[in-house]
Structure 1
């Protein structure tokens, strides 16, 4: 023996079976005659490469080769020299397994299989997401056929063995090539790989054992959810072929924007307009809370009295602890942030104008000096712009 199969495959002598398979797959894709058509020696190289893989992938033949013996000698199946091709024929499925890492199917496949997961999207109002709700959700999925209860056949009809594949679920073909006889396997076209045939398929599901149906589920949505969160409902997805186990259902939530409130994590934010005189003198204002949208809230929770100190500036934010969003993980609630927007009067009668003029004279503000805001500070306009964005 003057061939070094390790050198042909380009692996070390202590290479693992997985490394040998990867090396063969990599080189076979380069020297296969269908790929390297410009190489006159491609067929010979591929035959030599396949011989090396046959030896090194077989523990017994590899042991014989490592001891200096002839693994293709007496008792060795496969090659019989370069001139004779593959003496015993070549199972193409083994080549596919080595080159592409996918073994061919063996035996009939089951009619009963696991169903797929399903996804539905549900729109929520802000108060539903904040306080939680039980929502009716329509789901269109595959369910067990009510007529045959998943069997796939009419009453009394039993599956019979496929005569084309004798129940194997696949058929084999042998083709001659320069490499010798190549055997390929494919799913039986008559039974589609099941190995059996249903003589009288169910008229409702056409033998699938399942049908499409729309059903309504009552989905409990916890308080504090937000857009993008998915609720997992085990076993509520697609029923599998043949009435197989159902997959899971995922309910993805999308929360609509509110007319007045804005959510920031576990906090709720609201802007309240305040007259200039009230901001200057100080006052108490009643601010509606999000509970006003929720029928399950107590009447005294639907508004809150906010103390506005005298001299309050536009853009001032007052935080009301525990009036925000319930924390989805953990206890307690966030804050309700009330941002005050001081409004300057635009329509004044003569009496009001005179009063304001007298105030300006008393405060020496008839010709006020413009003072630039501190660098780096957000200021009133920065805060309001940030809120409205």
Structure 2
């Protein structure tokens, strides 16, 4: 900085943040979303450097996805413009489920395809169209009345 005929050098030390991580003019933060938001999409509000930012969560967002908000980072010192704000998505998996939530997820698991491995309490068997649900076998005919829809109805309506 020029002060009269002298040159003055100033050093700034910026305190580290628990929320923001800086990479040059770019800023990185984490945003935690629900399982439903990740699967179905939605929106989440995050704190920005200059203002809060509402970002759109696309349906099918995976954990650790990164969303870029252009020009919402730190002002660039030696050029024009601002850096970008990168939001890293973290999906919060529920630790406890209500009876209704568990029934809905089990119903979804029954019709889910291409599952690598197994799902507890739901196992395809190699005997025709039989499936084993929590230890009891049912045929496809029985599933139409008591399978997916039956579990959901019973869990929600009692």
Which TM-score bucket, shorter chain as reference?
Answer: 0.5 to 0.7
1:260 equivalent among 5, 14, 19: 19
Instruction: Provide Cα deviations, 1:243-282, integer angstroms capped at 9, x if missing partner.
Output: xxxxx75432211111211111111111000111110001
Q: 1:111-126 counterparts in 2 under 5 A?
A: none
* Structure with higher RCO (Cα < 8 A, 6+ apart): 2
Is the counterpart of residue 287 in structure 1 residue 46 in structure 2? yes
Equivalent-residue separation in structure 2 for 1:250 and 1:284 (angstroms): 44
Q: 1:139-150 counterparts in 2 under 5 A?
A: none
Instruction: Provide Cα deviations, 1:71-117, integer angstroms capped at 9, x if missing partner.
Output: xxxxxxxxxxxxxxxxxxxxxxxxxxxxxxxxxxxxxxxxxxxxxxx
Is the counterpart of residue 368 in structure 1 residue 85 in structure 2? no
Larger radius of gyration: 1
Moved over 4 A (4+): 231-236
* Aligned twin of 2:147: none
Q: CA RMSD in A?
A: 2.3
* Aligned twin of 1:308: 57
Q: 1:23-102 counterparts in 2 under 5 A?
A: none
* Aligned twin of 1:344: 93
Structure number with the higher strand fraction is 2
Equivalent-residue separation in structure 2 for 1:234 and 1:259 (angstroms): 40
Which stretches in structure 1 are left out of the alignment for 5+ residues? 1-230, 237-247, 292-301, 371-389
| TM-score for the superposition, normalised by structure 2 | 0.66
Instruction: Provide Cα deviations, 1:152-180, integer angstroms capped at 9, x if missing partner.
Output: xxxxxxxxxxxxxxxxxxxxxxxxxxxxx
Equivalent-residue separation in structure 2 for 1:339 and 1:304 (angstroms): 14
| TM-score for the superposition, normalised by structure 1 | 0.28
Which stretches in structure 2 are left out of the alignment for 5+ residues? 119-158
Equivalent-residue separation in structure 2 for 1:258 and 1:345 (angstroms): 28
